[in-house]
């Protein structure tokens, strides 16, 4: 389904269902006995954002460490690979929903309610900001404890009254800290209105890192060599360019001509650089057009050359990456590779990578233009916030990394 179609369904169908569902749940609560509130089987809900599967990892690890609960997760099937990178949630505890067709979407949703009861889910943490669909999944999951972001006095963000732990979403702190606030609400020893009246230190949102053997790295270098026969890791240094962003918010894309010019500057100023244009197989044609603009044999169309699971391995043998504000900026954060993430419609203050990352942000008066309040949908059709970030400016930011490569060669 298209993103806008999902948004319309979420509003026009989700709002009345949340209203009716909330009434039904209150009636059931009047005649039902309250269950055991201990945290044993905890389910996290995050459907649509691949990067959030990385950003929530510190919160999941904290909950597991403090409570000893078994972790579970529900996510759209196409986004599941992002959850597999750190393997915090066991494979058998992950439920996927197919969003590519309405019949499959409905079937998987109904089956979800059976799955939660079979898994004896007692606690649900809804990571989505103000989605009505996930509120319904939470509300009818059968769980005793239900944590999520509540609108309180914010208008237009209604999604029922299913939550037992209502957390105030804070638009002034990083989303990873907001996720930890949800966990803190469940760990609190007393009721709070609103949750969570806690201080969350920067040290709490440090990610785990992955490491690879030299044999694994050499296997990946072999893939690079299959695309560029002259590749020699002693002579060439890999620089990654990721020019795409998800369809959820295409306004996050830096202009292709800017990427082409930046790539030319890198290749000109750094004779050892080998520029790989990354992307998934569907983006290979777009990557080819960018390669043709660069007009260099050291610029390689690498879109689709590696699997999603191999991306962190690719990052582990690269010098640095320049990318749009999208998944790769977060996926690379579990490695030590420096990344330079170009922001526009969103702000790095809330969605910046937790890794070795430098945000590039113009900070126009209209930016950021997407937020929880507008369900990340903007009226903008002319992303000047990205157009004004010129290749020359980005090059000055990455220049120390270029100089480091030159000094080593």
Q: Where are the alpha helices (DSSP H) in 295-390?
A: 311-316, 327-331, 348-351, 384-387
pLDDT at 247: 62
Q: What is the pLDDT of residue 239?
A: 97
The answer to whether 249 touches 345, Cβ cutoff 8 Å, is yes
Q: What is the pLDDT of residue 66?
A: 96
The pLDDT tens digits along the chain (409 residues) read: 677 787 788 888 888 888 898 888 888 777 766 666 889 999 999 998 888 899 999 999 999 999 999 999 999 999 999 999 999 999 999 999 998 888 999 999 999 999 999 999 999 999 998 889 999 999 999 999 999 999 888 877 889 889 999 999 999 999 999 999 999 999 998 999 999 999 999 999 999 899 899 999 999 999 999 999 999 988 999 999 999 866 666 788 899 999 999 999 999 999 999 999 999 898 999 999 999 999 999 999 999 999 999 999 999 999 999 999 988 999 999 999 999 999 999 899 999 999 999 999 999 999 998 887 777 788 888 999 999 999 999 999 999 999 999 988 7
Q: How far is 85 from 90, CA to CA, in rounded Å?
A: 12
Helix (H, G, I), strand (E, B) or coil at 71: strand
What per-residue confidence (pLDDT) applies to 27? Answer: 84
Angle at 210 between CA 341 and CA 404, to 5 degrees: 50
The answer to whether residues 89 and 71 touch, using CB atoms and an 8 Å cutoff, is yes
> In this structure, are residues 201 and 221 in contact, taking their beta carbons and an 8 Å threshold?
no
Contact (CB, 8 A) for 82 and 51: yes
Cβ partners under 8 Å of residue 294, min gap 6? 260, 263, 264, 267, 275
Closest CA to 394 of 264, 238, 247: 264
Query: Which residues lie closer than 8 Å to 176 by C-beta, 6 or more apart?
Result: 55, 56, 58, 59, 205, 354
Q: How far is 167 from 183, CA to CA, in rounded Å? A: 10
Separation CA 314–CA 316 (nearest Å): 5
pLDDT of residue 130: 86
Residues 6+ apart with CB under 8 A from 285: none
Backbone angles phi, psi at 59, to 5 degrees: -65, -40
- Measure CA 234 to chain center: 34
Distance (Å, whole) CA 147 – CA 163: 6
Q: Residue 183 in contact with residue 200, Cβ under 8 Å?
A: no
CB neighbours of residue 84 within 10 Å: 14
Which DSSP string corresponds to 94-159? EEEE--SSHHHHHHHHHHHHHHHHHTT--EEEE-SSS-HHHHHHHHTS--SEEEEEE-TT-TT---
Cα 94 versus chain centre, distance: 17
Structural domains of the chain ordered from first start: 3-205 (3.40.50.2000), 215-408 (3.40.50.2000)
- Going 395 to 401 to 403 to 406, the CA torsion angle's sign is negative
Total-model pTM: 0.91
Q: Report the pLDDT value the prediction gives residue 5, as an integer from 0 to 100.
A: 80
| Rounded to 5°, angle at Cα 236 from 235 and 237 | 130
d(CA 251, CA 253): 5
């Amino acid at each position: 389904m298209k993103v806008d179609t999902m948004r319309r369904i979420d509003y026009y169908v989700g709002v009345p269902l949340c209203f009716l569902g909330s009434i039904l749940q209150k009636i059931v609560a009047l005649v039902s006995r309250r269950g055991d509130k201990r945290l044993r089987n905890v389910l996290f809900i995050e459907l649509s954002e691949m990067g959030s599967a990385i950003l929530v990892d510190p919160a999941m690890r904290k909950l597991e460490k403090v409570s000893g609960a078994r972790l579970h997760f529900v996510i759209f099937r196409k986004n599941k690979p992002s959850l597999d990178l750190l393997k915090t949630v066991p494979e058998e505890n992950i439920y996927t929903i197919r969003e590519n067709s309405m019949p499959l979407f409905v079937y998987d949703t109904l089956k979800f309610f059976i799955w939660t009861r079979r898994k004896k889910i007692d606690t649900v943490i809804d990571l989505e900001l103000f989605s009505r669909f996930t509120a319904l999944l939470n509300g009818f999951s059968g769980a005793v404890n239900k944590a999520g972001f509540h609108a309180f006095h914010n208008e237009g963000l209604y999604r029922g009254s299913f939550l037992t732990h209502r957390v105030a979403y804070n638009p002034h702190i990083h989303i990873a800290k907001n996720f930890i606030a949800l966990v803190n609400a469940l760990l609190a020893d007393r009721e709070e209105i609103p949750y969570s009246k806690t201080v969350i230190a920067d040290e709490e949102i440090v990610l785990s890192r992955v490491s690879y053997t030299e044999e694994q790295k050499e296997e990946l270098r072999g893939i690079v060599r299959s695309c560029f026969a002259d590749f020699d890791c002693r002579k060439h240094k890999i620089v990654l360019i990721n020019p795409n962003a998800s369809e959820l918010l295409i306004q996050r894309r830096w202009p292709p001509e800017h990427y082409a010019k930046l790539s030319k500057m890198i290749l000109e100023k750094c004779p050892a650089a080998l520029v790989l244009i990354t992307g998934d197989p569907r983006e290979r044609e777009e990557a080819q057009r960018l390669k043709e603009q660069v007009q260099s044999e050291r610029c390689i169309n690498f879109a689709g050359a590696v699997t999603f699971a191999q991306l962190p391995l690719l990052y582990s043998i690269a010098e640095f990456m320049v990318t749009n504000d999208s998944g790769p900026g977060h996926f690379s954060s579990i490695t030590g590779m420096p990344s330079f993430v170009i922001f526009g419609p969103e702000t790095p203050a809330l969605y910046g990578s937790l890794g070795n990352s430098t945000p590039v942000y113009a900070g126009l008066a209209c930016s950021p233009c997407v937020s929880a309040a507008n369900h990340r949908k903007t009226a903008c059709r002319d992303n000047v916030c990205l157009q004004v970030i010129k290749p020359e400016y980005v090059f000055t930011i990455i220049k120390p990394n270029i100089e480091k490569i030159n000094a080593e060669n």
